[in-house]
Amino acid sequence: MLTPKITATRELVSLNGLWDFAVDDGKVTAPWTGRLGTRLQAPVPASYNDLFTDPSIRDHVGWVWYQRTVRVPRGWAGERVIVRVDAATHHGVVYVNDQKVAEHEGGYLPFEADVTDLVDAGAEFRLTIGVDNRLTPDTIPPGTVTVRSDGRATQTYMHDFYNYAGLARSVWLASRPAVHVADVTVVTDIDGATGVVDYRVAVEGDADVRVRLIDEDGREVAASAGASGVLRVADAHLWQPGAAYLYRLDVEAVVDGAVVDEYPQTVGIRTVAVDGGRFLINGAPFYFTGFGKHEDSAVRGKGHDDAYLVHDFQLIEWIGANSFRTSHYPYAEEVMDFADRHGIVVIDETAAVGLNKKIGGGIADMLGGAGDKDFADGFGPAMQDAHRREIRGLIARDKNHPCVVMWSIANEPDTMSEGTDTYFEPLFALARELDPTRPVTFVNVMMAPPNVCRVSKFADVLCLNRYYGWYVDGGDLVAAEEHLEQELRGWEQMYGKPMIMTEYGADTIAGYHSVWDQPWTEEYQAKMLDVYHRVFDRVETMVGEQVWNFADFQTSSGFFRVDGNKKGVFTRDRKPKAAAHALRARWTALKGAR
């Protein structure tokens, strides 16, 4: 499914703005059959949870309803009319007037419905979108809904970020021709000074295909005809980390010599490879610096916001970082486009987080509670099917982004229990089948060191999240340094694969200070990161460091979280803590060195 765009043959109407909004409290019956009886309005895009003061909305478990009227532009007669939802977290259902037109599971990927037969050019229709926030043992991510004795439903889950829900990304009304470009796949290579662009186009209907590759100055640099082919660009400008260059592949569907559809696909010419213990971009060793992020901000929750997009990337640039991971779900497409445009490298992760019954809220079982359950006890074929769908959806959506250099198929799953290898092996195979050009990884949890983890053998790159000096050796940075180095050397010896520390960090309350190694202070965070950096610099197969987290973010409530997770290097409103300045010094120097 292609991202909707305005072209000479396609139009786009944003359906963002205020929609009528109601929580399904059991009294709302078939809201799509008429107007929602509500005084509430909610903005799209935004998570709904933090908008209202009523706790029964914030803590609601189940369906909510969004509704608005939409007018189809009068010029769209004869065109296909599409409703496109960039994300409905976690389960969406779309009605045009009384008719159900789409249903979608999975909260972070787009879906669409062709509603042509139900609407008329120039006329209005009622668009209703239901969104269910429930996570169950078979959803990705998983969760449990418990109905209390007083009838209240409550939601628990094993991941460490608040279960924001609703329409957090854009909704569109799009037109496209009946015969149209349905999909484009681009794979690039480098042959000396020549850029090689391998393209494949899927067309809906009967049409010929023509493509032209245009450079940033608007000049045509290559062209071809046919649904697939190879374009060669002499003296190609490569897409480089920190120095993006984007070509545009203009794809045309042609019937009897006339262009019936036109779709522009961004192309960055670059290669990615793993070579022994090194990670190569365009044949040169690449060292990742940056963060695990979240889509998270006050009031809008996970709602996409272009101002935060620009500001976050400004801070990434300011601090000298070159990359981030889309922990722990696919981010809005606007984010991926921006990373393409600004040369920021992305590890692209599915929403498979919390597949680990030995962890509660991101914290290892040392706190008791979540416990001793095995992987097999719950994560079965239904979960694996959902997981497959998430991998397919992510790669289908993001396969053409030059910024994406690796797929992460899960964060911190249980990989120590029996059966986890048979669960994961086919998922790695699927990702490689769908995209043979990028390395595939998963993110390993601290409880699965080299001699215990059953899944690392399938990964091209070892991505590790470690909390020595925090959950383990808390307050003792001398022990933390020793234990971290010991473990990394163990991985290096056993696998020799490139390693990235995809999470390390300490909760820090901005404004807390101490001259001693006092957890929660700004000094401790900076000092702990420094311990890790000393170790990284001694271990040869380390190819990257991504601090947890870019910014403080909201989580579910619990005694180990102070109004959310405070491991941000920036506060939730993006003010730097002391660690930000220390990182800036290190990463700016590294940029020059590597």
Joined together, the tokens standing for residue 129 give: 């979108």
Q: Going residue by residue from 345 to 374, which x/- string records binding to ligand GCB, judged by CB under 6 A?
A: -----------------xx-----------
Q: What residues between 498 and 527 interact with ligand GCB by CB under 6 A?
A: 503
- Cβ closest to ligand GCB, residue 397 vs residue 466: 466
238 token code pair:
């490569």
Q: Whose CA is closest to 266, among 215, 201, 194?
A: 215
Least CB distance from residue 489 to ligand GCB, whole Å?
A: 21
Cis, bond preceding 285 (omega within 30 deg of 0) = no
* Residues between 527 and 566 with contacts to ligand GCB, criterion CB under 6 A: 548, 565
Q: Which is nearer to ligand GCB, 40 or 363 (CB)?
A: 363
Nearer to ligand GCB, 144 or 224 (CB): 144
Catalytic residue, candidates 11, 390, 503, 523? 503
* Binding-site member from 261, 412, 414, 523 for ligand GCB (CB under 6 A): 412
Query: Which of 362, 449 has the CB closer to ligand GCB?
Result: 362
CB of 188 to ligand GCB, least distance (A): 32
Neighbours of 224 (CB within 10 A): 17
Of residues 424-483, which lie at the interface with ligand GCB (CB under 6 A)?
Answer: 465
Q: How far is the CB of 465 from ligand GCB (least distance, A)?
A: 4
Cβ proximity to ligand GCB: between 79 and 552 the closer is 552
Near ligand GCB in 303-332, by CB under 6 A: 328
Residues 373-392 that bind ligand GCB (CB under 6 A): none
The single residue among 397, 567, 572, 577 that binds ligand GCB, judged by CB under 6 A, is 567
124 catalytic per annotation:
no
Q: Is 561 helix (H, G, I), strand (E, B) or coil?
A: coil
Beta carbon of residue 458, minimum distance to ligand GCB (angstroms, whole number):
19
End-to-end CA gap in the chain: 38
Instruction: Decide: 313 and 344 in contact? Cβ < 8 Å.
Output: yes
**Binding of residue 160 to ligand GCB (CB under 6 A):** yes
Please, what is the minimum distance in Å from the beta carbon of residue 246 to ligand GCB?
Answer: 32
With b for 16 or more beta-carbon neighbours within 10 A and e for fewer, the 138-151 pattern comes to bbbbbbebeeeeee
Structure tokens at 24: 């399904």
For the packed helices 306-318 and 333-342, what is the interaxial angle rounded to 10 degrees? 40
Tell me the DSSP string of 37-103.
Answer: --S-EEEESEESTTT-S-HHHHT--SEEEEEEEEE--GGGTTSEEEEEES--BSEEEEEETTEEEEE
Within the chain, how many helices (H) and strands (E) appear? 8, 34
Q: Which of 105, 112, 295, 412 is catalytic?
A: 412
CA atoms of 91 and 72, how far apart (whole Å)? 26
Q: Give the shortest CB-554-to-ligand GCB separation in angstroms.
A: 11
Nearer to ligand GCB, 52 or 512 (CB): 512
Which DSSP string do the residues of 424-491 spell out, in sequence order?
A: HHHHHHHHHHH-TTS-EEEEE-TTS-TTT-SSGGG-SSEEEE--BTTTBSTT-HHHHHHHHHHHHHHH
Give the residue numbers marked as catalytic: 412, 503
Residues that bind ligand GCB (CB under 6 A): 160, 328, 362-363, 411-412, 465, 503, 548, 565, 567
